[in-house]
C-alpha cells in the first residue's frame, strides 16, 4: 500500500524555494532555487575544530580551491573565533588577519561569492570595499549599532544570526527548549524590521545553533523553521561538527562528520537554503541525495 504523504509534509513548508529568490551584489548573482553550500575558512588560531584552522596563505588558497571544486557556492572567511569562551580580538588585529587573505581570495577567485564573518561595522565596511560580497554577523546587528546602517547603505547580502549573550558569556546564559522558538522569532522580527526600515532587502536568517541555547533548545529549533521565518527569507544552518552533535554522541570534532550530515539532512527537510560547513563534499552529497529523494516522492504523489 502506498503511504499517503506529500513531500511538503516531510520537508516543511519553506523547503519549496521561491522561483525568483536570488542574491545580487556588484555584478554577481546567486540563484537560490536550490540549496547552497557555504564553505568555512577559518584564519584564526583558536577555532573549535582544529583541522579547520588555516595557518598560511598557500593553505588558504588550496583549501578554497578544494571547496569550490567540491561544490561550494560561497566561501565564509572569518578572522575571529566565536567558539564559547573565546577571547577578545581587537579591531586592528581582526583587520590585520582578514584583509590580505580577502584580497588574495578576490584576486584568485574573482567570480566567487566571498562572505566575511564579522560583527564589527568597520570591518564589514573594509571587507565590502575589498571584495566581500556578503556579511555574516553572529550578533544580528546587536554588538555594533552601526552594522545595520552599513549593511543597508551597501545593500550587501547579510546573514542575521540570533545569539543570546556574547561568545564570552553565551555558555552561561542559555535559552531553554520551551522558549527558544518564540525568542528567536521575536529577535528576527525586531532586527528584520530595522533592516527593512533602513532600506536593506537581502537578508538571510541564521537561528544560531550553539549560541546561547541549551542542548535540547538547539534540537527544538529544527522544528520551528517555519515559525521563526514567516516572511520566507533564506535560512542558513550552521551545525557543522558543533558541540550539539558531540555532546549527544560523546565524540570529538574530528569524528562529528556523520552527525553533521544527519542534521544537514534534517535542516534541508525543514527548509534550509544555506548549509555552512567545514566539509563541502559531504554536504554536496547530502544535498544530492535529498534532492533525489524529493524527486522520487514528488513523482509518486503526482
What positions carry a catalytic annotation?
242, 276
For 151-185, give the DSSP string: HHHHT--EEEE--SS-TTTTTTS-B-TTTHHHHHH
Q: Is the separation of the CB atoms in 269 and 10 below 8 Å?
A: yes
Q: Count of residues for the chain? A: 302
DSSP one-letter code for 241: T
For residue 6, count other CB atoms closer than 10 A to its CB: 11
Q: Spell out the alpha helix ranges (H) of the chain.
A: 7-11, 57-70, 91-108, 121-129, 147-154, 180-198, 215-221, 225-228, 243-249, 257-270, 280-301
User: Are 137 and 160 spatial neighbours (Cβ–Cβ below 8 Å)?
Assistant: yes
List Cβ neighbours of 223 (8 Å cut-off, separation of 6 or more): 181, 270
Q: How far apart are CA 300 and CA 283, in angstroms?
A: 26
Phi, psi angles (nearest 5°) of residue 203: -120, 130
Cβ(228)–Cβ(219) under 8 Å? no
| Helix (H/G/I), strand (E/B), else coil: 93 | helix
Backbone angles phi, psi at 194, to 5 degrees: -60, -45
Amino acid at each position: 500500500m502506498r503511504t499517503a504523504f506529500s513531500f511538503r509534509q516531510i520537508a516543511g513548508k519553506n523547503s519549496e524555494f521561491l522561483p525568483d529568490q536570488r542574491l545580487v551584489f556588484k555584478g554577481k548573482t546567486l540563484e537560490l532555487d536550490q540549496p547552497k553550500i557555504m564553505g568555512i575558512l577559518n584564519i584564526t588560531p583558536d577555532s573549535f575544530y582544529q583541522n579547520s584552522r588555516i595557518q598560511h596563505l598557500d593553505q588558504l588558497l588550496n583549501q578554497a580551491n578544494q571547496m569550490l571544486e567540491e561544490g561550494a557556492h560561497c566561501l565564509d572567511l572569518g578572522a575571529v573565533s566565536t567558539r564559547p569562551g573565546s577571547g577578545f580580538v581587537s579591531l586592528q588585529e581582526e583587520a590585520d588577519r582578514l584583509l590580505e587573505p580577502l584580497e588574495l581570495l578576490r584576486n584568485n577567485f574573482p567570480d566567487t561569492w566571498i562572505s566575511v564573518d564579522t560583527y564589527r561595522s568597520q570591518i564589514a565596511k573594509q571587507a565590502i570595499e575589498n571584495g566581500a560580497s556578503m556579511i555574516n554577523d553572529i550578533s544580528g546587528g546587536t554588538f555594533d549599532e552601526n552594522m545595520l546602517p552599513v549593511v543597508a547603505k551597501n545593500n550587501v547580502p547579510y546573514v542575521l544570526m540570533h545569539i543570546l549573550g556574547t561568545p564570552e558569556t553565551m555558555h552561561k546564559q542559555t535559552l531553554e527548549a520551551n522558549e527558544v522558538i518564540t525568542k528567536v522569532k521575536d529577535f528576527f522580527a525586531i532586527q528584520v524590521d530595522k533592516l527593512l526600515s533602513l532600506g536593506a532587502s537581502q537578508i538571510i536568517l541564521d537561528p544560531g545553533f550553539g549560541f546561547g541555547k541549551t542542548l535540547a533548545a538547539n534540537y527544538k529549533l529544527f522544528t520551528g523553521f517555519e515559525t521563526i521565518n514567516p516572511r520566507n527569507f533564506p535560512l542558513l544552518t550552521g551545525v557543522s561538527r558543533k558541540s550539539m552533535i558531540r555532546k549527544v554522541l560523546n565524540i570529538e570534532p574530528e569524528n562529528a562528520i556523520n552527525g553533521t550530515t544527519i542534521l544537514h539532512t534534517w535542516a534541508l527537510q525543514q527548509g534550509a537554503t544555506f548549509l555552512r560547513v567545514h566539509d563541502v563534499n559531504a554536504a554536496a552529497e547530502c544535498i544530492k541525495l535529498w534532492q533525489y529523494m524529493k524527486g522520487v516522492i514528488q513523482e509518486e504523489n503526482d
